[in-house]
Amino acid sequence: MTSWRRAAARQLSEVGHTFVFGLSDGRVIDGRRGGNSARFLNHACAPNCEAIETGNRVFIHAITDIERGKELFIDYGLAVDGEITDDIREQYACHCGAPACRQSMLGGSTPL
């Protein structure tokens, strides 16, 4: 099992805000192909869900109690290829409002 944070989502810079899930073995799940319900998950620095990789699938697990009708969030922990420029920092700025907001949807080992 690999958490979303360790499995770092990767961004395809050529097509803007299309994301792929990076799996622990190097394969990816491309959000452009067929789509899936994960596209409804927004980013928060203090999320109420996390993505867990099990075999060939990624499951979204609640990590807090979530009331019916509340929005679901995960920490995107985005990784981008190449240099992290000011434009990229701006493009992926976070305004989630959490006390521990790190001001960015980038994460993992990506230098901010």
Residues forming the site for Zn ion (CB under 5 A) = 45, 94, 96, 101
Task: Please identify, using beta-carbon distances, which residue of 22 and 77 lies nearer to Zn ion.
Answer: 77
Angle at 71 between CA 1 and CA 108, to 5 degrees: 40
Task: Please identify, using beta-carbon distances, which residue of 29 and 45 lies nearer to Zn ion.
Answer: 45
Given the structure tokens 């109420």, which residue do they identify?
Answer: 48
Give the shortest CB-25-to-Zn ion separation in angstroms: 29
Task: Please identify, using beta-carbon distances, which residue of 33 and 95 lies nearer to Zn ion.
Answer: 95
Given the structure tokens 């992290």, which residue do they identify?
Answer: 84
Give the shortest CB-106-to-Zn ion separation in angstroms: 11
Give the shortest CB-3-to-Zn ion separation in angstroms: 18
- Dist. CA 26–CA 32, nearest whole Å: 18
- Dist. CA 8–CA 20, nearest whole Å: 9
